[in-house]
Amino acid sequence: MATAAPPAPPATPPLRGVQPLRAGEGHSFFWRRLHSLTGIVPIGAFLVEHIISNFEAINGPLAYAQQVKFLNSLPLVRLLEWAFIFIPLAYHAGYGVFIWLRGRSNVNVYPWAGNYMYLTQRLTGLIALAYIAQHVWRQRFSGVMLPEHPGAAFHKVQVELQNPWMLAIYVIAMIATTWHFAYGIWLFAAKWGITPGDKARKRFGYVCAAAGAGLCLMGLISIWAFVGPKYANAPADVMPSQPPGVTMPAPDNPVPGSTNPEPSSLQR
């Protein structure tokens, strides 16, 4: 006598959050590792370079303009800009938002330090994304084109920071971005097996905290260079373009021991 087939189990709705990774299923492992790697190289490396370059603002508008001019004179700079900044940043931000939308915070149920760090990493990432989007648009693609007019770089940032709301946004974004990067380095080392064990992770946590605090301090000092009294009302362009055949005046006080140059066209 044939027996009746057992009833099918009731269909259950898919669980919220990021689904567990099973062997042979999906490509989540690859995309997560790529997301983690791009946060360090090239995006993290560019962040460090960007903060160091902006720190040149403490030496005045001309020094800052020379740094901007140097960066924009690198070979294949536009190709490098897209290949190592814009495209990796778009992927890192997009996949980070994807993880945030599929995940969920549970600090209200499990108020542990790791859960708070997870939540803070997501919030600082969103703050950094919103800031970078407006910053790139306002400083790179609108107004004076700094690649063609590097002498206007200091004045352009200074004018923007005269708005107290923009100044507050810059300060908050600097703190959020450096925190996100510092904790991202710690996560990278843990995920990639660089710091096995609790002791190694704890010690490396101090290193990441010190590095993040140092970068944040440099960034805040750079902001102060634009808004402080030392370089108030900087010229609109410290490297004005000269008409063809016209050179800048010779210095009034030539270097001792050197021969006096021929008078420039403006002195004749």
DSSP string, 101-123: HH----TTT---HHHHHHHHHHH
**Pick the residue with more confidence: 11 or 98?**
98
- Length, in residues, of the chain: 268
In eight-state DSSP terms, residue 98 is: H
Sign of the CA dihedral running 213, 215, 216, 222: positive
More reliable by pLDDT, 255 or 167: 167
DSSP character string of 173-197: HHHHHHHHHHHHHHHHHHHTTSS-S
Which pLDDT value is given to residue 27?
66
- Tell me how far apart the alpha carbons of residues 54 and 67 are, in angstroms, rounded to a whole number: 8
For residue 221, give every residue at least 6 positions away whose Cβ sits within 8 Å of its Cβ, in sequence order, or none: 55, 58
From 171, 176, 178, select the one nearest 210 (Cα to Cα): 178
Predicted confidence (pLDDT) per residue in 238-266, tens digit: 998 755 554 445 445 444 444 444 444 33
- pLDDT-derived band at 99 (thresholds 50, 70, 90) equals confident
DSSP state letter for 16: S
- Return the pLDDT at 169: 97
What average pLDDT does range 42-48 have in this prediction? 96
Burial of 34 (0-12, 13-18, 19+ CB in 10 A): middle
How far apart CA 109 and CA 129 sit, in angstroms, is 28
Residue 59 binned pLDDT confidence (cut-offs 50, 70, 90): very high
Cα(216)–Cα(201) distance, integer angstroms: 22
Cβ burial 154-175 (10 Å sphere, 16+ → b, else e): bbbbbbbbeeeebeebbbebbb
Q: pLDDT digits over 188-223, tens only?
A: 999 999 999 999 999 999 999 999 999 999 999 999
Helix (H) or strand (E) holding 71: helix 61-72
Segment 5-14, tens digit of pLDDT: 565 555 555 5
Take residue 229 and report the two structure tokens written for it.
């009294």
Q: Which residue has the higher pLDDT, 260 or 96?
A: 96
Quote the mean pLDDT of the chain.
84
Q: Is the pLDDT score of 78 beyond 70?
A: yes
Q: Contacts from 145-148 at CB under 8 Å and sequence distance 24+? A: 146/68, 146/72, 147/72, 147/77
Q: Which residue has the tokens 């260079």?
A: 225
- Among 99-103, 176-180, 200-204, 264-268, which is the least confidently predicted range? 264-268
What number is the average pLDDT over the span 49-67?
A: 97
| Percentage of the residues of the chain whose pLDDT score is greater than 90 | 69
The pTM score is: 0.78
- List the single range of 9-23, 82-96, 97-111, 215-229 with lowest mean pLDDT: 9-23
